[in-house]
């Protein structure tokens, strides 16, 4: 069956962050420098639209006129008809979903925080498999493997960014752009300010800036009958998708959208099943932290378990939001500040169902690397950052020179008010920050220049974080996966030393098992190397591509293996791609990382290339004793015990 959804339909509890940034912004509250006392920051709501508009023009834009700019970012426009209009576009196949009396053990998406699910391209519930393929969602009866078959395919408006599964609900998150490639001025459409073409007496007026209207949508389908999914609710909000989470019956999205100084200031709006829900100025909070750009960050909550949900919203006007961290009850927004002190503002938003409240704001030195640079633990928020510092003046006689800045890695512990309770600054001068992982009362950091120092940071005393030990080895880890409380798996690259350049040259893939039982003396107990220079894996940058289950000693990652066919003419030469698929490992403390075998979807003897990339394995999962590998065009099933082939399902 094929399902096609228009700009409607959904049923979930969602929180959405939509951001609208401003151009040409002057400083509002000056940020404290490294030698100054910290400034307490907070966000407060606007009393009226006039106050909001004046604040943006006088503070955000400093009252300046930005010629040639227009605001193309009107609120999302409802499509004709309601959710019931969509059912007419369904096409139903004769496939039967079958039934399963017991749900076997099965894997789930590799996530950061227990209970906080993350957006992924493939999900399963122990019987059915849902996968994004060619901008559709395929629904497959996966278990038992002998009955495996494609049941339905769902298509929605926009580019699919990922999916969630919650019981008999399938949530699809999409992103959509509407470009305005011609001369435009502001007009109105359906009561909403929209860019309109303008022709004056002297001809057509051409603005300097061409823009786009970005929206993010969440579509919820009832999949109780997997062969006949039914669209129940749609939610559309302003902004480009940045992240998503699912907690219980509540989904959380983050989106960003620029807002410019010229023209009317348009508040974000939510559209639920074609019904426009406007945001009141009292629900818009503004930050006192200055930045070179500001943004509307809308946090929208919608209950996934309701058949006709009503979302709740709060909007936060602040600098452009970047990486987020989400715990069970908090959303932490990070706002990189590109000033001379290179800081990050952090805003804590509490969430409890559809109750959304601003709680606190704080600032720290440096910028976060990714979501694993942050962690919430026992009432504290821990953050690892990297900064290049700032040029410091030095007097040389009658002349003043500046000392070149050097990058450092830092760790900060913040209390519930986001005040700095403890800090450890200046780690690894001159080295890049590659990976971080917090686990209990420890943090693990990876920096790199010529070798890979793995730092073990003690956080038992939040007021006094300290280095407990470090391990220096060749190569680098881009991602750290906890194995247990005292062991980590590192995913990265091997390297060779380039002494004359004070640097290193990355080579093939490297997996490492680290023993941190004694934090003062961490050890590398097992390594696995694969391929030559040019080999790669999504696991280095996308943790959701990793299948890891310690109870089964199972580790599976997608890989692209390159080999240098002959003696290279120089050390910088890349190898030729010779294999793509999933590498399957056994990982135990006794035997370390042991390669069990590889599974590829490519025909025998065929080298990976652009033309067959639809057969590149992107995910692996297991249900019962069956290992499933998923590409855009195929699902293959292998016996989990010996990797022998079982069945396959075509997704084309």
Q: Which pLDDT tens digit goes with each residue over 346-384?
A: 999 999 988 889 999 999 999 999 999 999 999 999 999
Of the candidate ranges 426-435, 464-473, 626-635, the one whose mean pLDDT is the lowest: 426-435
| pTM for the model | 0.86
Which pLDDT value is given to residue 2?
Answer: 52
Which pLDDT value is given to residue 377?
Answer: 97
Residue with tokens 């452009």: 320
Residue 116 lies in a domain: yes
Residue with tokens 């049941």: 151
Which pLDDT value is given to residue 21?
Answer: 43
Residue 110 lies in a domain: yes
- 137: tokens are 């969602």
Residue 414 lies in a domain: no
Query: 190 pLDDT exceeds 50?
Result: no
Which pLDDT value is given to residue 310?
Answer: 84
Closest CA to 438 of 511, 508, 373, 535: 373
Residues 277-299: tens digit of each pLDDT? 888 888 889 888 877 777 888 88
Which pLDDT value is given to residue 338?
Answer: 76
Query: 482 pLDDT exceeds 80?
Result: yes
Confidence of residue 536 (pLDDT cuts 50, 70, 90): very high
Starting at the edge strand found earlier in the chain, the sheet holding 592-599 runs 547-549, 554-563, 576-588, 592-599
The mean predicted confidence, pLDDT, of the chain is 82
Which pLDDT value is given to residue 109?
Answer: 98
**Half-sphere exposure of residue 453, counting CA atoms within 13 Å on the CB side?**
18
Of the candidate ranges 147-161, 352-366, 567-581, the one whose mean pLDDT is the lowest: 567-581
Residue 109 lies in a domain: yes
Query: Averaged over 636-648, what is the pLDDT?
Result: 98
Query: 198 pLDDT exceeds 80?
Result: no
Question: 373: phi > 0 → left, psi -120 to 50 → alpha, else beta; which?
Answer: alpha
Residues 324-343: tens digit of each pLDDT? 999 999 999 999 987 767 89
Q: Are 194 and 54 in contact (CB under 8 A)?
A: no
Total number of domains in the chain: 1
Which pLDDT value is given to residue 37?
Answer: 40
Which pLDDT value is given to residue 135?
Answer: 96
Query: Averaged over 464-469, what is the pLDDT?
Result: 97
Confidence of residue 210 (pLDDT cuts 50, 70, 90): very low
Which pLDDT value is given to residue 621?
Answer: 98
Query: 525 pLDDT exceeds 60?
Result: yes
- 146: tokens are 């002998």
Query: 539 pLDDT exceeds 90?
Result: yes
Residues 177-186: tens digit of each pLDDT? 875 444 434 3
Residue 137 lies in a domain: yes
Domain of 185, in residue numbers: 2-8+75-193
CA distance 146 to 592: 34
Query: Averaged over 137-154, what is the pLDDT?
Result: 98
Q: Give phi and psi for 582, each to the nearest 5.
A: -110, 130
Query: 13 pLDDT exceeds 80?
Result: no
Which pLDDT value is given to residue 39?
Answer: 57
What percentage of the chain reaches a pLDDT higher than 70? 78
Residues 14-44: tens digit of each pLDDT? 444 444 444 333 334 433 334 334 557 888 9
Query: Averaged over 262-291, what is the pLDDT?
Result: 84
Query: Averaged over 501-505, what is the pLDDT?
Result: 66
Query: 85 pLDDT exceeds 50?
Result: no
Residues 444-458: tens digit of each pLDDT? 999 976 555 899 999
- 538: tokens are 């999504």
Confidence of residue 265 (pLDDT cuts 50, 70, 90): confident
Query: 10 pLDDT exceeds 70?
Result: no
Query: Averaged over 519-534, what is the pLDDT?
Result: 96
Which pLDDT value is given to residue 62?
Answer: 57
**Half-sphere exposure of residue 541, counting CA atoms within 13 Å on the CB side?**
4
DSSP string, 506-566: EEEEEEEEEE-SSTTS-EEEEEEEESSTT-B-GGGT-GGG-EEEGGGTEEEEEEEEEE--S
Residue 397 lies in a domain: no
Residue 162 lies in a domain: yes
Residues 6+ apart with CB under 8 A from 209: 68, 69, 70, 260
Query: 600 pLDDT exceeds 80?
Result: yes
List beta partners, residue 175. 159, 216
- SS3 percent helix, strand, coil of the chain, rounded to 5, is 5, 55, 40
Residues 6+ apart with CB under 8 A from 436: 369, 370, 372, 373, 384, 443, 444, 445, 446, 480
Residue 332 lies in a domain: no
- 544: tokens are 């959701």
Residues 211-238: tens digit of each pLDDT? 457 899 999 999 999 999 999 999 998 8
Which pLDDT value is given to residue 186?
Answer: 38
Starting at the edge strand found earlier in the chain, the sheet holding 169-180 runs 159-166, 169-180, 211-222, 230-238, 269-272, 275-278
Which pLDDT value is given to residue 174?
Answer: 95
What's the chain's Rg over C-alpha atoms? 26
The two beta strands, 626-630 and 367-368, are: unpaired
DSSP string, 330-383: EEEEEEEE-STT-EEEEEEEEEETTEEEEEEEEEEESEE-SGGGEEEETTEEEE
What percentage of the chain reaches a pLDDT higher than 90? 56
Which pLDDT value is given to residue 6?
Answer: 53
């Amino acid at each position: 069956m094929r399902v096609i959804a228009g700009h409607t339909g959904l049923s979930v509890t969602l929180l959405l962050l939509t951001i609208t940034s401003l151009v040409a912004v002057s400083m509002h509250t000056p940020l404290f420098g490294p030698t100054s006392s910290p400034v307490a920051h907070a966000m407060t709501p606007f009393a009226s639209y006039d106050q909001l508009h004046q604040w943006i023009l006088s503070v955000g834009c400093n009252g300046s006129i930005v010629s040639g700019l227009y605001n193309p970012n009107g609120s999302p426009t409802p499509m004709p008809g309601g959710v019931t209009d969509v059912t007419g576009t369904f096409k139903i196949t004769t496939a039967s979903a079958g039934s399963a009396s017991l749900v076997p053990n099965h894997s789930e998406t590799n996530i950061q925080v227990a209970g906080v699910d993350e957006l992924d391209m493939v999900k399963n519930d122990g019987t059915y498999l849902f996968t994004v393929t060619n901008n559709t969602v395929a629904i497959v009866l996966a278990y038992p493997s002998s009955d495996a078959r494609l049941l339905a395919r769902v298509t929605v408006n926009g580019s699919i960014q990922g999916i969630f599964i919650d019981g008999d609900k399938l949530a699809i998150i999409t992103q959509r752009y509407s470009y305005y490639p011609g001369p435009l001025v502001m007009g109105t459409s359906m009561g909403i300010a929209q860019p309109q073409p303008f022709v004056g007496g002297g001809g057509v007026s051409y603005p300097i800036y061409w823009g786009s209207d970005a929206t993010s949508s969440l579509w919820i389908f009832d999949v109780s009958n997997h062969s006949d999914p039914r669209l129940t609710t749609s939610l559309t909000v302003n902004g480009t998708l940045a992240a998503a989470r699912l907690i219980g019956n509540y989904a959380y999205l983050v989106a960003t959208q620029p807002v410019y100084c010229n023209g009317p200031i348009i508040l974000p709006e939510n559209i639920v099943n074609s019904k426009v829900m406007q945001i009141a100025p009292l629900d818009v909070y503004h930050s006192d932290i200055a930045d070179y750009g500001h943004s509307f960050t809308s946090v929208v909550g919608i209950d996934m378990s309701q058949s006709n949900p009503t979302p709740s919203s709060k909007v936060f006007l602040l600098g452009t939001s970047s990486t987020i961290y989400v715990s069970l009850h908090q959303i932490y927004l990070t706002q990189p500040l590109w000033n001379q002190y290179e800081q990050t503002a952090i805003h804590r938003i509490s969430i409890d169902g559809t109750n959304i409240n601003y709680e606190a704001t704080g600032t720290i030195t440096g910028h976060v690397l990714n979501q694993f640079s942050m962690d919430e633990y026992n009432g504290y928020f821990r953050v690892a950052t990297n900064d290049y510092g700032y040029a410091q003046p030095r007097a040389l006689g009658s002349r003043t020179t500046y000392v070149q800045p050097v990058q450092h890695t830092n760790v900060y512990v913040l209390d519930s008010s986001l005040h700095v309770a403890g800090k450890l600054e200046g780690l690894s001068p001159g080295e890049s920050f590659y990976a971080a992982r917090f686990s209990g009362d420890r943090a693990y950091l990876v920096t790199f220049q010529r070798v890979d120092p793995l730092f073990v940071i003690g956080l038992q005393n939040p007021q006094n974080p300290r280095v407990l030990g470090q391990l220096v080895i060749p190569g680098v880890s881009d991602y750290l996966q906890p194995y247990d409380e005292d062991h980590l798996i590192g995913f990265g690259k091997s390297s060779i030393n380039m002494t004359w350049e004070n640097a290193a040259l990355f080579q093939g893939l490297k997996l490492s098992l680290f023993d941190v039982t004694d934090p003062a003396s961490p050890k590398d107990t097992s390594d696995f190397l694969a391929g030559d220079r040019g080999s790669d894996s999504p696991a280095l940058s996308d943790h959701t591509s990793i299948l890891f289950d310690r109870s089964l000693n199972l580790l599976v990652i997608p890989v692209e293996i390159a080999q240098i066919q002959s003696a290279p003419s120089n050390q910088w030469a890349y190898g030729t791609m010779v294999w793509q698929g999933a590498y399957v490992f056994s990982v135990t403390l006794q035997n370390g990382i042991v390669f069990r075998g590889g599974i590829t979807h490519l025909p025998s003897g065929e080298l990976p290339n652009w033309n067959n990339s639809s057969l590149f394995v992107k995910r692996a999962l297991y249900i019962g004793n069956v290992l499933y590998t998923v590409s855009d065009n195929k699902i293959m099933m292998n016996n989990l015990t010996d990797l022998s082939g079982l069945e396959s399902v075509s997704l084309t």
